Amino acid sequence: MAAAKRPGGHGTLITVAPTGAEHTKADVPNLPVTLEELVAEAVACEAAGAAMIHVHIRGADTTPTLDPQRLKDTVAALREQTDLVVQLSTGGAVADPEEDRLRVLDAMPDSASCTMGTVNFGDDVFLNRWEFVVELHKRMRERRIVPEYEIFDIGQLASLARLLDQHGLPAGGHVHVDLVMGVPGGMPGDTETLAAALRAIPAGATFSATGVGRTSLPVMLASLSAGGHLRVGMEDTVSYARGERVRDNAQLVERAAQLASVAQRPPLSAAEVRTLIGVAQSN
Ligand code: KMH
Ligand code: ZN
């Protein structure tokens, strides 16, 4: 865990994942689900220190959708109103068909998630067949979309090594990994597991980490201590502290930015993150 040797070690990439596909608007009334709510949250999160946004969208009925036109409109609105690196989720919701997930790339985001294997996901299964992962990787390369490899369990890092070995580096030539920890069915969200995962991360790769639910803070502190970057947001946690619900996504970004600054690795700007992970600069 040689923090200083990892690219981007001088600053912290903070990604906000504001919505996700799991929480309902009925259960979490402050979850951003309309385009207006999403953009307002994105603007506030950028001001608080976020440089990238991991986006799941919702339909008019507030349930998750991968509607192509809505995705394009979302990318356009976020580009218009913010400088954030726009990352679309290709994970979607657990029941989304592979074809719909692949079609997400036609919205031409800066970045897209690419989960490196199948994992139990609470009572569901988040299915990511090998052939599907390879197809995502290939289509992202063709479109010059920079992947963020989502890792829910340590074995998926072996799959990432196999992918890079068999199919080459992604667009931008840099490998960035996001450890999603604490999902029931995936790897636990604790320091020991993060340290074990880092031993399997490709040389030269950057990584961020996010802890789901109550693992949010331990994972954030562990990642900072290991030279890693951070993802926070209501996709992953809707409680701010014991017995206290999250006010909004900016509240989570503010805390991440404060902790990153305490760690002497203050938030990176969106432009710095574009350079770090190999996304073309915006105009
Ligand atoms: N909603 C989860 C089933 C991703 O965005 O790429 C998958 C997920 C991963 O959130
Ligand atoms: Zn997601």
Kindly report, residue by residue over 244-262, the tens digit of the pLDDT: 999 999 999 999 999 999 9
Find the 44 Cα to ligand 1 centroid distance in Å: 23
* Residue 7 in this model has a pLDDT that exceeds 80: no
Nearest CA to ligand 1 atom 10: 91
Q: What pLDDT was estimated at residue 282?
A: 79
Nearest CA to ligand 1 atom 1: 93
Find the 20 Cα to ligand 2 centroid distance in Å: 5
- Across all residues in the chain, what is the average pLDDT? 96
Spatial distance between the Cα atoms of 93 and 275, rounded to a whole number of angstroms: 30
Q: What pLDDT was estimated at residue 281?
A: 84
Q: What pLDDT was estimated at residue 225?
A: 97
**Mean pLDDT across 76-86:** 98
Query: What distances in angstroms separate CA 4 from CA 9, 115, 223, one per listed residue?
Result: 5, 27, 13
Q: What pLDDT was estimated at residue 16?
A: 99
Spatial distance between the Cα atoms of 149 and 116, rounded to a whole number of angstroms: 7
Spatial distance between the Cα atoms of 72 and 205, rounded to a whole number of angstroms: 29
Atom number, ligand 1, closest to the C-alpha of residue 64: 1
* Residue 10 in this model has a pLDDT that exceeds 90: no
Q: What pLDDT was estimated at residue 6?
A: 45
Q: Best mutation site among 22, 111, 126 for ligand 1, i.e. most ligand atoms within 8 A of its Cβ? A: 126
* Residue 4 in this model has a pLDDT that exceeds 50: no
- pLDDT, one tens digit per residue, over 225-239 is 999 999 999 999 999
Residues with CB under 6 A from ligand 1: 20-21, 89-91, 93-94, 113, 115, 121, 126, 150
Find the 121 Cα to ligand 1 centroid distance in Å: 10
Amino acid symbol at 198: L
* Residue 33 in this model has a pLDDT that exceeds 90: yes
> Percent of the chain at pLDDT above 90?
95
* Residue 186 in this model has a pLDDT that exceeds 80: yes
pLDDT confidence band for 283 (50 / 70 / 90): low
Nearest CA to ligand 1 atom 4: 91
